[in-house]
Amino acid sequence: MLVSLHRISDAVMKRSCYVIALTTLLCLEISVRTAHASPTNVLSQSEQALVTGNPERARALAEGIIDQEPSNYAALILLSLAHADLGADHASADAATNAYRVATTADQRLQAARIVAGAHFKMNQYTRAQWWLRRAGNDAETPQEAAKVRQEFTRIRTENPLRVNLGFSVAPSDNINNGSESESFFLEGLDFEFFLPESSLALSGIEYAGDVFATYDLAQGPNHRTQLQGYIFGRTFSLSRKSQAAVPDISGNDYALILTEAAINHSRLLQSGWGPTSVSAHIGKAWFGGDPLWDYGKVSLAQMIPDGANNALTIGGSFENRTARHATQSDTQVTYVYASQQHMRTNQDKVTITFSGLTQNAAFETDSFTEYRGNIAYHFGQPLMGTHVSVSGGLGYKSYDEFTLSLDGRRDRYASLGGTVVFNNAAYFGFAPTVGVTATHTESNVTQFTTSQLQARIGIQSTF
């Protein structure tokens, strides 16, 4: 649901930074002495000057210590806070960055990184602020500290008009090409067995995939938001030794896929008690095996309808027009509709049930089909042995009225089962490793399209 976005005030950020500094300074033990004055006394005077609203004096005293001892962590923190009170946010960020570099403990790095993030936030440098909070997360040693960093990250993210989500995964599979289980098939009405070429059988190998999804807020208000969106997806494969020996003239790159898309999305609250209504327009292009596959344009519509605090129904659909750019493809129109019900249980487990339908009308009649699919996903809200676990399962049916290898069309029934584990305790810079396993089986009246696949996917996921 769209919410009214609000900015954290400078005063709140200053108080937060000052509390961080006081906590840090109380933990310091400074034993360095000079012939003229004790650095400890000067630090106390600088701190007192900040408390009494005299940042100029606090800055001068802190700079005096730093001139003699450039790696004095406490003095650098006080200098950063004094600059912040004087409105010199760039200088504040620089001083806290230097404090981070000379810090000797995880707690010192945590506090310094949070102050740097606060300074960048005040300068509207939201992405840099988020990056520093990811660095701070590396040094959070307790659940409370980690929760505080996530909370600050969320506050800044609501202000940042730019959002970028990155994904990468490596997935070993026993069937990268969706090849047939059977080595041969029979045509209806003919008592003759046809043998499939090796390239049409299941080939094992490894999939390498990555994607970037970016959004930028063009306009927003309490009840609306307009975003510019961009998406790039790519995947390629390497064949196993056994599969490469079976098809020496084929490489994994022959199955590579690249998608690019640009879109504009507008969401608005049209009715009290309902969630946002979203409408978007997309243009994109696809390549397969290095060759252009099709260009497309798409419009989509979605409506979210909440039911209390723990339930939400989302319904939507899209219409896509594809223009073929390869001889094996035909111009195609795709209509898609779906309904998704989400329920949050009292233990914070989340259940999502989705039903969808798709119709593809192609210039080549044998490429036209209708498909129906149902899926259920269950996400465990509480950590299990330090990990977050989700499982899913689905059933589907695809029907072709006309098909080259069958007199009465083609009918596929398929099922899938999978699970994903996120290792939050192994997160680095706010990114945690993930491991997922998916098993899929398709049964078709056209034997060539009866397939099975078992795939393990290793990837990364943001914990913020």
- Same domain (yes/no): 417, 444: yes
- The CATH number that applies at residue 110 is 1.25.40.10
Mean pLDDT of 151-171: 93
Alpha carbon 9 to its chain's center: 28
- Same domain (yes/no): 78, 189: no
The model's pLDDT over 346-388, given as tens digits with 9 standing for 90+, comes to 999 999 999 999 999 999 888 999 999 999 999 999 988 889 9
Alpha carbon 414 to its chain's center: 28
- Same domain (yes/no): 144, 173: no
| Position 122 in a domain | yes
How many whole angstroms separate alpha carbon 59 and alpha carbon 126? Answer: 26
| Position 2 in a domain | no
- Same domain (yes/no): 57, 188: no
Q: Beta partners for 390?
A: 379, 420
| Position 257 in a domain | yes
pLDDT at 196 over 90: no
How many whole angstroms separate alpha carbon 338 and alpha carbon 352? Answer: 13
| Position 3 in a domain | no
pLDDT at 99 over 60: yes
- Same domain (yes/no): 298, 262: yes
Tell me which residue range forms the domain holding 64: 10-159
More confident residue, 30 or 246: 246
- The CATH number that applies at residue 286 is 2.40.160.40
Q: Which of 159, 182, 216 is the last residue of a domain?
A: 159
Mean pLDDT of 289-317: 96
| Position 4 in a domain | no
The pLDDT, as a whole number, for residue 272 is: 84
The pLDDT, as a whole number, for residue 23 is: 44
- Same domain (yes/no): 90, 210: no
| Position 5 in a domain | no
| Position 174 in a domain | yes
- Same domain (yes/no): 457, 427: yes
pLDDT band at 191 (very low <50, low <70, confident <90, very high): low
Mean pLDDT of 161-180: 93
Beta-strand pair 291-306/257-268: unpaired
How many whole angstroms separate alpha carbon 296 and alpha carbon 413? Answer: 28
- Same domain (yes/no): 140, 182: no
- Same domain (yes/no): 194, 115: no
How many whole angstroms separate alpha carbon 58 and alpha carbon 375? Answer: 61
More confident residue, 3 or 36: 36
pLDDT at 462 over 90: no
Q: What value does the mean pLDDT of the chain take? A: 88
Amino acid at site 37: A
Q: Beta partners for 389?
A: 421
Q: Beta partners for 299?
A: 281, 319
Number of domains making up the chain: 2
- Same domain (yes/no): 151, 167: no
pLDDT band at 192 (very low <50, low <70, confident <90, very high): low
Mean pLDDT of 434-444: 96
pLDDT at 37 over 60: no
- Same domain (yes/no): 425, 453: yes
Q: Which of 159, 186, 208 is the last residue of a domain?
A: 159
Q: Which of 159, 182, 200 is the last residue of a domain?
A: 159
The model's pLDDT over 225-276, given as tens digits with 9 standing for 90+, comes to 999 999 999 999 999 999 999 999 999 999 999 999 999 999 999 988 899 9
- Same domain (yes/no): 135, 181: no
